[in-house]
Amino acid sequence: MIIRQKIMRGVSLTAHPKGCAEYTKQQIQWVKEAATGMHASYSTGENLSYPKKVLIIGGSTGYGLATRISASILGKADTINVSFEREPSEKKTATPGWYNNLAFEQEARKMGLKADSILGDAFSHEIKAKTLDLIEKEYGKIDLVVYSLASPLRIDPDTGESYRSVLKTTGATYSAKTIDPFKEQISVAKVGPATEEQITHTVKVMGGEDWTLWMKVLKERDLLAKGCKTVAYSYIGPEVTFPIYREGSIGQAKEHLEATASEIEESLNDIEGTAFVSVNKALVTRASSVIPVVPLYISILYRIMKDKDLHEGCIEQMYRLMTERLYQADGVPVDDAGRIRLDDWEMREDVQTQVKAAWDTIEQENLQQLADLEGFRKEYEQIHGFGCTDIDYSQECDPRVID
Ligand code: NAI
């Protein structure tokens, strides 16, 4: 079939196998180059004691995939990914993560590394058990667990009850400029308040409960190495997005996730384990593109950070996590609340002053000048395997194979 990108209400319904494979390989290549000193703003990260066996929950796209790639190249780590994917058929494409997993695992094996994916619902007992069995049989003890899930739904494995996360405020209705980056149309988004029940549900899905469960079952089966680390990802962002993000229902979930880190760390005391939350930069991923208001903020941020030569994607961020945060010989640098900050460049005062000025004045007429919509769209295309200059998208392509 001929595979073109089809976007409906900000969600891409298709993914290109060759393009996803290409983008995964580009990220691998970037880490290889950075590790040999080819990217000036990044240290080579030599002589750090990187993990050797890494479990990534949500490791098929975005931040999880970038962590998997960074860990495998820097520390020659064997990696297991757990992710939720739609498989391809003769007439239907898979989700991008399915192609990314395949591409990454092919490359990892060429480097002599073990790499497997367990596909299914990470919240379920069944997938946890399957993952633990694989680790026990084929990998041995894990020394880094990465929790990088972004999901709209969780079915409680004990009660069968479904919880849905919502992207709403926790106070009054919030009106703010937003954009459809594909139509380049500014409009006003009105985001209403979540009910108490919706907030509880969002915390159930995106808070720390399932992270705790993963760590608990891994420890009970004695599958965590002495001195193991675990990390989950959070976001804070600037005041302009506070009502919808940090002070919204998702922000409540992120606060829960952050509080969970210290509880997990306490449970790992006897094996000298540590648990962290890393606050990452706002980036175009499948998860962030559907948050109201955020795509406009990201487009403005991209323009400013690119102008200042500070722009990073998931791979650069996760490379810094490994080389300049989690495995620092003199301890993990954290903020007053104990969080790793990889949003340091995003939150720089000069960057945020310019973001605020652009945010206050942006309108249809000056959109191109103040926002990097092209950059947003390109990245969105890229994460679904489109827009790659080496690929002829008019050619027939089997959606079940990546090369
Ligand atoms: P993403 O959408 O690229 O990746 C989500 C991953 O979760 C995928 O591997 C997907 O297969 C997996 N997944 C979803 N539901 C699942 C389920 N039920 N079972 C198994 N796997 C499942 O998202 P992204 O943006 O990389 O997000 C990862 C984490 O980073 C999230 O916690 C997010 O809040 C956080 N974060 C994201 C930022 C952003 O701007 N994108 C900024 C800072 C933090």
Q: Is the CB of 282 under 6 A from ligand 1?
A: yes
pLDDT attached to residue 285: 87
* Rg of the chain over all Cα atoms, to the nearest angstrom: 20
DSSP label of 280: P
Distances (CA, A) of 137 to 90, 123, 200, 375, 392: 33, 22, 37, 44, 42
Sorted by where each starts, the structural domains of the chain and their CATH numbers stand as 7-382 (3.40.50.720)
Q: Give the dihedral sign, CA 149/66/300/383.
A: negative
Q: Is the pLDDT of residue 11 over 90?
A: no
pTM: 0.97
Span from the CA of 63 to the centroid of ligand 1 (angstroms): 7
Averaged pLDDT, 379-397: 94
The 10 Å Cβ neighbour count of residue 32 is 14
pLDDT attached to residue 382: 96
DSSP label of 117: E
The 10 Å Cβ neighbour count of residue 394 is 8
The per-residue pLDDT for range 140-195, each reduced to its tens digit, is: 999 999 999 999 999 999 999 999 999 999 999 999 999 988 888 899 989 999 99
Token duo for residue 204: 């159930």
Q: Is the CB of 122 under 6 A from ligand 1?
A: yes
Span from the CA of 148 to the centroid of ligand 1 (angstroms): 5
Q: Is the pLDDT of residue 242 over 90?
A: yes
Phi, psi values for residue 211, rounded to 5°: -60, -45
Q: Given the CA of residue 153, which atom of ligand 1 is nearest to it?
A: 18
State the average pLDDT for the chain: 95
Q: Is the CB of 274 under 6 A from ligand 1?
A: no
Q: Cα–Cα distance between 151 and 14 in angstroms, integer?
A: 19
The per-residue pLDDT for range 281-330, each reduced to its tens digit, is: 999 988 788 888 889 999 999 999 999 999 999 999 999 999 999 999 89
Residue with tokens 């409009």: 187
Token duo for residue 299: 């487009």
pLDDT attached to residue 134: 98
